[in-house]
A and B are shown apart, each in its own frame.
Chain A
Amino acid sequence: DGGITQSPKYLFRKEGQNVTLSCEQNLNHDAMYWYRQDPGQGLRLIYYSQIVNDFQKGDIAEGYSVSREKKESFPLTVTSAQKNPTAFYLCASTDSGPAYGYTFGSGTRLTVV
């Protein structure tokens, strides 16, 4: 079955470390997105990519980086510059045409220890 796979499900990071969250999709979707979800706040867009080798900053890109070397993959790196990285991270994809819903992964919960 087609879908989006995020890994790991839980991730613990020490202060000052960079960590990379994986997102892989086999839906042949062009567009991919990274969101952060915190209690009491809506989904906030970190980065998005509409095509391979191209991506744009979202609303809260500071302290994060991404790459899009393959259509199927859109990894997110949380750098040490991100001051409050503890959150639930969600990856999504969609067809680039109009009127399609997003398909989300099951999320990665990142905790700073």
Chain B
Amino acid sequence: SQKIEQNSEALNIQEGKTATLTCNYTNYSPAYLQWYRQDPGRGPVFLLLIRENEKEKRKERLKVTFDTTLKQSLFHITASQPADSATYLCALDGDAGNNRKLIWGLGTSLAVNP
């Protein structure tokens, strides 16, 4: 069955360092991969989307890579700040333009310490 795995353990890093979060998937060939941020008690907020034919995408301090051979996406936050502390969710989209049902990972909790 289709499966998405994100780092289950919380990631703690020092302010100013680069945070790297991992999203691995199996039994699936997504057309798109998306990353979201979720704060406690709030809905997820869309951050970035990367297509299967793109290797890398950047937005300000964020960078996402997508390796369809390894079936893995890496999400990087450079020059991290305490305000970046949140849970980050990975989601796969295989039917873009059709039913648009996403498959979600459980998320990785990131804590950036001042």
Contact = CB atoms under 8 A, between A and B. Distances in A.
A-B complex is real: yes
A102 B46 contact: yes
A31 B96 CA distance: 12
Contact of B41 (A4, A99, A107): A107
Nearest to A102: B46
A87 to B, nearest CB: 13
A104 B46 CA distance: 8
A40 B106 contact: yes
Interface string B34-49: 1010000111111101
Contacts of A102: 34, 36, 44, 46, 102
Nearest to B102: A102
B114 interface: no
A48 B97 contact: no
Given A6-B43, A41-B106, 18 more contacts: A42-B89, A42-B104, A42-B105, A48-B100, A50-B100, A58-B101, A90-B43, A92-B43, A96-B97, A97-B97, A99-B51, A100-B49, A101-B47, A102-B34, A102-B36, A102-B46, A103-B46, A107-B41
24 contacts: A4-B43, A6-B43, A42-B89, A42-B105, A43-B44, A43-B89, A50-B100, A56-B99, A90-B43, A90-B44, A96-B100, A98-B96, A99-B32, A101-B34, A101-B36, A102-B34, A102-B44, A102-B102, A103-B46, A104-B43, A104-B44, A104-B45, A105-B43, A106-B43
